[in-house]
Amino acid sequence: MSPTLPHKVIFDTDPGVDDAMALYFALAHPDIEVLGITTTFGNVTVQQAATNALYLCALAGRQIPVTQGVARPWVKAGEAPPAYIHGADGLGNLLQRIAVTDTLDPRSSAQFIVDMARAQPGQITLVAVGPLGNLSLALRLEPELPRLLKQVILMGGTVLEPGNVSPVAEANIWNDPHAADQVFTAGWPLTMVGLDVTHRLVLPVTMFQQIATHQRHRATDTLHTAVDFYAHFYGSRFEHVAAVHGCFGHDVLAFIYLVAPHLFQTQAGQIRVATDGLAQGQTILKRQAGIDYPQAGWDAAVPTSTVCMAVDASECSELFMATLLRDWLPA
Ligand code: BDR
Ligand code: CA
């Protein structure tokens, strides 16, 4: 194995059905080592997100530190979680759950990120797939964080694809736009995996059924049940998704970018987030480097990020399937 592998990752998440898919992809992939799971509000309350992270790890027989993070946006008022998308419990309204004895790491998510980055400088990739309040708080605790982390890969935002909570805003950015703008301007190597690519990856429920049949296990069965619920929401919104009874694999693509960046076409540019007004939550990409705009906010101090603009969705689908069909769960 290459000396840079496996990728050491902290997974910042609001599970969430596609967050669960992403977590299980990461646990099943031989080149990814999940060092910790930091949770945030978003798809569910932060308490439920932490409960779900512990639950998903317990189902998969894995002991990974889980922390509870921010409960609300940094500046704007919080909103009720979208129970109609992920279920009131975030995992498609599971009818029953097994008992879990593992408990939370007592640190806040932000403190955990800072501690881990200080302990292993330059080693850790932060994969963030929820609203960005934990990263924003971690930056305030440790301003050197951009030099202590290896990179940040986040699922959120959109450039050309219409938004999913407003005509221009994607949910994770909408949920905490001030935190997101801080994250995009912090100066770490950052890749945005947004709706421009995640709306290309449609995963049919039959894939999850096949995974659950291939390896009969509580973890694969729970994922299948949760995705079946989640697919009903996407089917109600998108005809082509309804046609295959499927869903978008949003958060999974952040991990697929980590292990297979060659499957993506990217563009470099400065990114800012509209924090207020009608465009709140919009991720604005400055696509022409040569233009010196007269408006404030686009000077050279704004770092350059990488944005995923296109993806080979069928290769991603195959990689997802092949990874989840590995022998990754205890008997
Ligand atoms: C993002 O919002 C959440 O609903 C999903 O988990 C994903 O992170 C997609 O816009
Ligand atoms: Ca998410």
What is the tens place of the pLDDT at every residue in 224-253? Answer: 999 999 999 999 999 999 999 999 999 999
Compute φ and ψ for 231, nearest 5 degrees: -65, -25
Residue 275 lies in a domain: yes
C-beta of 155 in contact with ligand 1 (< 6 A): yes
Structural domain total, the chain:
1
**Ligand 1 atom at shortest distance from the alpha carbon of 82:** 4
Residue 261 lies in a domain: yes
Q: Whose CA is nearest to atom 4 of ligand 1?
A: 43
Q: Which two tokens stand for residue 100?
A: 């879990």
> First vs last Cα of the chain: how many Å apart?
26
Which entry of 29, 199, 217, 250 is annotated as an active-site residue? 250
Q: What is the pLDDT of residue 288?
A: 84
* Cβ atoms 309, 160 nearer than 8 A: yes
The question of whether 115 is a catalytic residue gets the answer no
| Alpha carbon distance 16, 86 (integer Å) | 6
Please write the tens of the pLDDT for every residue from 109-144: 999 999 999 999 999 999 999 999 999 999 999 999
CATH code, 124: 3.90.245.10
Residue 239 lies in a domain: yes
Residue 156 lies in a domain: yes
Helix intervals (H) in the chain: 17-28, 46-59, 83-86, 109-119, 133-141, 145-148, 171-174, 177-184, 195-198, 205-214, 218-237, 239-242, 252-259, 313-324
Residue 330 lies in a domain: no
The question of whether 14 is a catalytic residue gets the answer yes
| Alpha carbon distance 285, 268 (integer Å) | 9
- Considering only residues 294 and 311, tell me which one the structure prediction assigns the higher pLDDT: 311
Q: What is the pLDDT of residue 1?
A: 61
Which pTM does this prediction carry? Answer: 0.98
* Cβ atoms 312, 263 nearer than 8 A: yes
Residue among 115, 181, 176, 172 at smallest CA distance from 145: 115
Compute φ and ψ for 172, nearest 5 degrees: -65, -35
Residue 329 lies in a domain: no
Residue 331 lies in a domain: no
Residue 1 lies in a domain: no
Q: Which two tokens stand for residue 257?
A: 């970018």
- Range(s) of the domain holding residue 161: 7-324
